[in-house]
């Protein structure tokens, strides 16, 4: 696998090594040994999957401490724009984001560390989205930032005003009105 660093330390794009022949393709979608060596040691404990239609936007979600989660995400059918926003108080990249297109064609994966809000927009007719988490889901720890916050500068490729959102996702605060539960710790986010 190839690890592509982004403008925000700790947030990386992963491109698997594909083996193509007349039968189709094969790739190793996850190897703990290789991930721990090339990205950082993470103990993933839960896998999730969602299926959504064009125009659905999910996010920007996180779980509050002590239930924080890192996520390794990928789109196995269709196409999404996936986004991670730095919400670590004191971080030199606080409020900045990384966006990457994930699709069944490019097989890319995106690693979103703890201390980031995460979301995606569905760009294809349908999208099946999978992610690994390093902590279990804890509904009492749910948090979010508004996906429609213009101050974040995210080009979702979909007008958030026309997006299909859950009721919960329409109620998240803007970044300016948000008191982050995450503090920036340089050593915690090193690759």
Q: Catalytic site residues?
A: 61, 131
- How far apart CA 128 and CA 31 sit, in angstroms, is 21
Q: Beta strands 2-5 and 12-15: pairing type?
A: antiparallel
Q: Which of 117, 98, 115, 118 is nearest to 184 (CA)?
A: 115
Task: Report phi then psi at 40, rounded to 5.
Answer: 180, 155
Q: How many residues does the chain have?
A: 191
For 171, counting Cβ atoms within 10 Å of its Cβ (0-12 exposed, 13-18 middle, 19+ buried), the class is exposed
For residue 37, give the 3-state DSSP assignment: helix
Token look-up 């594909």 returns 18
């Amino acid at each position: 696998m190839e690890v592509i660093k982004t403008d925000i330390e700790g947030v990386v794009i992963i491109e698997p090594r594909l083996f193509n022949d007349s039968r189709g393709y094969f790739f190793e979608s996850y190897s703990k040994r290789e991930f721990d060596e090339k990205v950082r040691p993470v103990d993933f404990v839960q896998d999730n999957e969602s299926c959504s239609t064009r125009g659905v936007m999910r996010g920007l979600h996180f779980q509050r401490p002590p239930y924080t989660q890192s996520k390794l995400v990928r789109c196995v059918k269709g196409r999404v724009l996936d986004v991670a926003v730095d919400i670590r108080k004191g971080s030199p990249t606080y409020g900045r984001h990384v966006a990457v297109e994930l699709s069944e064609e490019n097989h890319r994966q995106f690693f979103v560390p703890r201390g980031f809000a995460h979301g995606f927009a569905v760009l294809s007719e349908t999208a099946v989205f999978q992610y690994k988490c390093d902590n279990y889901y804890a509904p009492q720890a749910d948090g979010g930032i508004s996906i429609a916050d213009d101050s974040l500068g995210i080009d979702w490729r979909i007008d958030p005003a026309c997006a299909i959102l859950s009721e919960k996702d329409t109620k998240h605060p803007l970044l300016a009105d948000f008191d982050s539960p995450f503090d920036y710790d340089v050593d915690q986010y090193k690759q």
